[in-house]
């Protein structure tokens, strides 16, 4: 079977490692993923912090909002202990540390950076992220995504060539409007929504999340979607090989 669908590791190998840590990203690369998905926030001292939630409570031994802590405070937190004692002492990475890891691995796949501006605005983060990537050379394909349409509009104004995608659970009408206005290239919808609306968009523009079950992986692979975003990249890579007959 012809399957070109890329496998993007959601917060790294989230299902098997502490999410959004260098350990998790390295595991995903070792598993043969085609892409890495992660999330970026601003700390109190305007450093790029890699974490999904706006607070540190769920994934670390600390508590409180990211933007109320400076980088030094965040680095003292343990980002592995809540996942497993095995990963005790794992630190919260910065965007620069993740990019350095990808460069060290000569990673040529997709780097999907979600701007977490749908709950906390982080004024200026779009410009700051653009300036950071404009100042370095990197081997991967950079894709920006966000639930916040305004952040995507700001990115478009800063750099019309930037590759942008709209995340959504159910707000498909807004996503279609953004696509029509050429503010985004692709859609990153919830897989549950995709299965309820199979004719929403061309599969070449779909990268659904979070595709974890074998059934959902097969659904996407059979339709040859652009990519899946999954917590289990190793499992997805193996299934894709089996379906391809590799």
Distance CA 87, CA 211 (A): 25
Distance CA 245, CA 99 (A): 33
Write down the catalytic residue from 10, 76, 188, 197. 10
226 φψ region: left (φ > 0), alpha (ψ -120 to 50), beta (else): alpha
Active-site residue flag, 197: no
- Integer angstrom CA distances of residue 112 from 14, 125, 228, 241: 15, 16, 12, 23
Active-site residue flag, 52: yes
Distance CA 185, CA 171 (A): 16
Which residues have C-beta within 8 Å of that of residue 92, sequence separation ≥ 6? 20, 21, 49, 50, 51, 56, 60, 74, 75, 77, 79
Write down the catalytic residue from 41, 52, 197, 205. 52
- With beta carbons less than 8 A apart as the criterion, state whether 240 and 5 touch: yes
Active-site residues, by number, are: 10, 52
């Amino acid at each position: 079977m012809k399957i070109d669908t890329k496998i993007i590791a959601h917060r790294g190998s989230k299902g098997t490692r502490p999410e959004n840590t260098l350990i998790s990203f390295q595991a995903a690369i070792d598993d043969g993923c085609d892409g890495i998905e992660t999330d970026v926030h601003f700390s109190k001292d305007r450093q790029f912090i890699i974490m999904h939630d706006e607070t540190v409570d769920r994934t670390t031994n600390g508590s409180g909002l990211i933007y109320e802590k400076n980088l030094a405070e965040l680095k003292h937190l343990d980002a592995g202990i809540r996942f497993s004692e095995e990963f005790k002492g794992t630190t919260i990475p910065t965007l620069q540390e993740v990019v350095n890891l990808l460069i060290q691995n000569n990673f040529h796949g997709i780097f999907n950076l979600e701007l977490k501006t749908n709950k906390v605005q982080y004024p200026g983060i779009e410009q700051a992220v653009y300036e950071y990537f404009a100042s370095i050379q990197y081997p991967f394909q950079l894709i920006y995504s966000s639930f916040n349409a305004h952040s995507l509009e700001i990115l478009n104004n800063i750099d019309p060539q930037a590759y942008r995608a709209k995340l959504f659970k159910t707000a498909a009408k807004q996503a279609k409007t953004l696509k029509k206005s050429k503010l985004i290239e692709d859609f990153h919808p919830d897989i549950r929504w995709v299965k309820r609306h199979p004719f929403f968009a061309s599969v070449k523009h779909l990268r659904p999340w979070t595709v974890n079950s074998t059934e959902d992986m097969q659904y996407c692979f059979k339709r040859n979607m652009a990519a899946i975003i999954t917590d289990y990249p190793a499992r997805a890579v193996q299934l894709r090989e089996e379906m391809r007959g590799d």
